[in-house]
């Protein structure tokens, strides 16, 4: 009587085992994000009828992690852990997911609950050390590994510690961890192979760095540095100055930022000049011939559930101008082994690079080699990191490192350990130009890196005259706001992204204080960003909302400036703020914090005011300055004209284009005084 039921249960069990096997095979094959994304639909179809099974859900969640999905993942892992509280694999994924979402304290608490430090079980402590390493609590993990090595003779502890240190690039430390047991490891085992590889790598890199120079150092950064220094004696053939040059402008995205806007303008001007053989610029004989833009990413990744806002904001401008745009993320990754690297030592260095540098070497270097350029202009620190070595490998004669703000030692959220070694090594390579868009930033980079400031060239932003026409939508917004604030006698505005660096909350507080002084003022902010909802809530709390218009993104910024009596910028960090220049082009006075090169944009007390403190701006001072400039310039047409003329003279498109082309000469870098740089001396200074 029971036979059919027994057979049915056996069939169900067999079917579930088959699903497990299929899912495990898919997960194992889905190492790359794109492959995981492509495999996800098939895996979900396989799992659909077995979602009550914890192993099926575990494998499906692992695949989602590999596919780079984020939304709701922490909750799904937490739910699975409630069902399987003793499964340390699930604990690991729960903890690492919390770290991805920047909840390190919660991840540490989770580890403490499941693998407490008070345990006396060596096996549990070993698991704790590994899990601490997985969530990047490296200091605690390293201490525990070293304690276990002292207290126990298990070779696996040393092998595991060495493997994890090596993954972090700590070659010397990994070698020292495994060396005492290397001779006792089973020949042919993975552990023995690891020990052999570590010994060989250690011997190689010890020959590059001074004695003891590898201890505690990330060998990937050491490798990057010496791969760059491989080119410090490179010879660059001098070309006739009238030779037309091909230019690649490289950046991270085409989002709505100042650097992206400036790069887009420069690409447009270079392209127009290339198409106009008769166009001449004073004191410039170099001409552009071919212009392309290369961007790391301007489209959201496939399978992403959350759109990265505005990565393609300036793409339509480039497309309309028929400027070729290459998305580097979509280029095939070609391993170093399949590239032409004649020097064996260099090839070995290229096998061990920081991930961003490896990205550039495998994606950007091949396309630059196949499609040569005379000039590769790398914009912003992150682009320099992935692009500089790639450009050297491709034999690009002239390489620009274009800095667009204060250095990352000041902006801690943007700092990476690679940067000092990267830039100091590049300073020793002929044909590399250090370029900044303000004197302030150039001096800050020079001081940070210990590089003579004469190595830096200032390329001021080029800002065109702005049209004051409006779109129908913009006109409707302004007319509605004018009617709602019909009693207004002055308009204070700002053009900036609603992002933390721009401090829009502080701007709203300034507006609230100013409104108490001059109740008939109104306020306009042009820009969008993550803090939009916070701004609305704060404006409501401070009772400013009825006097405030949040325009959002607009392609008719000139129209909005033309409605303002003064423009205010309260940023913590800036390069050379385009918005301060744009406002002056329309005769609008500006008030700004002394962020980056803001003070180089206007004449103090004539076309603007600079506040005293960038970190803690005094809002009373800000209100005083706004009030002063509104009253000073409002009826003074000569001051408005002076403002426009200065902005046109210093920040014109022609001035920007002339300076850029002067930096496209493929010869040894020159100082601002046209004195040749002594590269051997530079190398000695930075050694």
Q: Return the top range by mean pLDDT from 12-21, 27-36, 611-620.
A: 611-620
Residue 189 banded pLDDT, cuts 50, 70, 90: very high
Residue 564 has pLDDT above 80, yes or no: yes
**What are 46-102's pLDDT values in tens digits?**
988 889 999 999 999 999 999 989 889 999 999 999 999 999 999 999 999 999 999
Cα–Cα dist 485/584, whole Å: 25
Q: For 317-397, where are the E strands, in sequence order?
A: 325-327, 375-379
Residue 8 banded pLDDT, cuts 50, 70, 90: very low
The mean predicted confidence, pLDDT, of the chain is 90
> For residues 271 and 307, which has the higher predicted lDDT (pLDDT)?
271
Residue 138 has pLDDT above 60, yes or no: yes
Cα–Cα dist 379/250, whole Å: 6
Instruction: Let me know: does 592 contact 577? Beta carbons within 8 Å.
Output: yes
Question: What is the predicted pLDDT for the residue at 404?
Answer: 87
Cα–Cα dist 381/403, whole Å: 7
Q: Dihedral through CA 502, CA 585, CA 282, CA 657, nearest 10? A: 30
Residue 247 has pLDDT above 60, yes or no: yes
Question: What is the predicted pLDDT for the residue at 606?
Answer: 86
Residue 523 has pLDDT above 60, yes or no: yes
Of 357, 298, 356, nearest in space to 323 by CA: 298
**What are 385-443's pLDDT values in tens digits?**
999 999 999 999 999 999 988 899 988 888 999 999 999 999 999 999 999 999 999 99
Joined tokens for residue 507: 């701007």
Ranking 137-151, 161-175, 536-550, 568-582 by mean pLDDT, the lowest is 568-582
- Please classify residue 327 by burial: count the beta carbons closer than 10 Å to its beta carbon, then call 0-12 exposed, 13-18 middle and 19+ buried: middle
The secondary structure of residue 612, as a DSSP letter, is S
Question: What is the predicted pLDDT for the residue at 686?
Answer: 54
* pLDDT > 70: percent of the chain: 93
Question: What is the predicted pLDDT for the residue at 394?
Answer: 96
Residue 198 has pLDDT above 70, yes or no: yes
Residue 1 banded pLDDT, cuts 50, 70, 90: very low
**What are 277-302's pLDDT values in tens digits?**
888 787 777 889 999 999 999 886 55
Residue 687 banded pLDDT, cuts 50, 70, 90: low
Joined tokens for residue 619: 């809002």
Residue 667 has pLDDT above 80, yes or no: no
Question: What is the predicted pLDDT for the residue at 640?
Answer: 83
Question: What is the predicted pLDDT for the residue at 672?
Answer: 40
Q: Please provide residue 379's backbone torsions phi and psi, each rounded to the nearest 5 degrees.
A: -105, 120
Cα–Cα dist 638/472, whole Å: 32
Residues 6+ apart with CB under 8 A from 413: none
Q: Give alpha helix (H) positions in 411-487.
A: 418-426, 439-449, 472-484
Residue 6 has pLDDT above 50, yes or no: no
The secondary structure of residue 551, as a DSSP letter, is E
Instruction: Let me know: does 161 contact 177? Beta carbons within 8 Å.
Output: yes
């Amino acid at each position: 009587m029971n036979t059919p039921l027994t057979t049915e249960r056996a069939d169900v069990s067999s079917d579930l085992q088959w699903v497990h096997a299929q899912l495990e095979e898919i997960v194992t094959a889905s190492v790359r994000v794109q492959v995981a994304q492509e495999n996800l639909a098939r895996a979900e179809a396989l799992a659909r009828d077995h979602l009550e099974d914890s192993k099926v859900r575990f494998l499906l969640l692992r695949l989602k992690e590999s596919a780079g999905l984020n939304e709701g993942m922490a909750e799904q892992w937490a739910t699975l852990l409630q069902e399987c509280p003793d499964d340390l694999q699930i604990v690991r994924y729960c903890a690492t997911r919390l770290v991805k979402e920047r909840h390190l304290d919660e991840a540490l608490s989770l580890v403490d609950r499941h693998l407490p430090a008070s345990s006396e079980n060596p096996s549990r402590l070993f698991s704790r050390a590994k899990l601490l390493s997985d969530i990047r609590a490296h200091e605690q993990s390293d201490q525990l590994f070293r304690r276990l090595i002292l207290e126990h003779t298990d070779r696996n502890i040393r092998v595991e510690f060495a493997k994890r240190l090596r993954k972090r690039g700590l070659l010397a430390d990994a070698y020292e961890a495994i060396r005492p047991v290397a001779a006792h490891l089973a020949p042919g085992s993975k552990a023995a192979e690891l020990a052999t590889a570590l010994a060989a790598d250690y011997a190689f890199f010890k020959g590059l760095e001074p004695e003891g120079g590898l201890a505690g150092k990330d060998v990937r950064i050491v490798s990057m540095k010496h791969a760059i220094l491989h080119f410090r004696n490179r010879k660059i053939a001098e070309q006739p100055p009238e030779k037309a040059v091909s230019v690649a402008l490289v950046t991270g995205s085409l989002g709505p930022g100042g650097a992206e806007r400036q790069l887009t303008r420069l690409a447009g001007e270079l392209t127009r000049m290339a198409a106009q053989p008769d166009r001449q610029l004073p004191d410039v004989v170099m001409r552009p011939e071919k212009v392309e833009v290369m961007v790391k990413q301007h489209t959201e990744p496939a399978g992403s559930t959350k759109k990265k806002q505005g990565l393609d904001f300036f793409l339509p401008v480039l497309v309309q101008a028929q400027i070729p745009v290459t998305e580097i993320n979509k280029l095939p990754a070609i391993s170093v082994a399949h590239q032409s690297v004649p020097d064996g030592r260099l090839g070995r260095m290229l096998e061990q690079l920081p991930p961003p540098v490896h990205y550039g070497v495998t994606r950007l270097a091949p396309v630059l080699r196949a499609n040569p350029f005379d000039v590769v202009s790398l914009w912003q620190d992150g682009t320099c990191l992935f692009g500089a070595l790639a450009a050297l490998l491709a034999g690009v004669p002239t390489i620009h490192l274009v800095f667009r703000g204060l250095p990352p030692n000041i902006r801690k959220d943007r700092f990476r350990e690679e940067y000092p070694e990267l830039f100091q090594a590049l300073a020793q390579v002929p044909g590399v130009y250090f370029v900044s868009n303000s004197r302030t930033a150039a001096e800050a980079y020079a001081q940070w890196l210990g590089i003579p400031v004469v190595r830096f060239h200032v390329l001021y932003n080029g800002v065109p005259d702005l049209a004051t026409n409006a779109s129908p939508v913009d006109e409707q917004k302004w007319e509605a706001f004018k009617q709602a604030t019909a009693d207004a006698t002055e308009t204070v505005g700002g053009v900036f992204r609603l992002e933390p660096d721009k401090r829009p909350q502080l701007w709203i507080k300034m507006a609230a204080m100013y409104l108490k002084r001059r109740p008939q003022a109104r306020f306009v902010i042009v820009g969008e960003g993550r803090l939009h909802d916070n701004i609305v809530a704060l404006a409501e709390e401070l009772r400013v909302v009825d006097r405030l218009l949040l325009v959002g993104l607009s392609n008719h910024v000139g129209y909005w400036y033309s409605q303002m009596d003064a423009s205010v910028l309260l940023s913590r960090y800036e390069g050379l703020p385009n918005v301060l220049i744009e406002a002056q082009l329309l005769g609008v006075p500006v008030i700004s914090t002394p962020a980056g090169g803001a003070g180089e944009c206007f004449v103090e007390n004539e076309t603007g005011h600079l506040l005293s403190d960038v970190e803690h701006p005094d809002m009373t001072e800000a209100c005083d300055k706004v009030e002063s400039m509104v009253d000073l310039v409002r009826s003074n047409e000569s001051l408005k004209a002076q403002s426009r003329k200065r902005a046109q003279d210093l920040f014109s498109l022609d001035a920007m284009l002339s300076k850029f082309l002067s930096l496209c000469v493929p010869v040894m870098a020159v100082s601002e005084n046209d004195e040749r740089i002594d590269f051997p001396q530079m190398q000695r200074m930075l050694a």
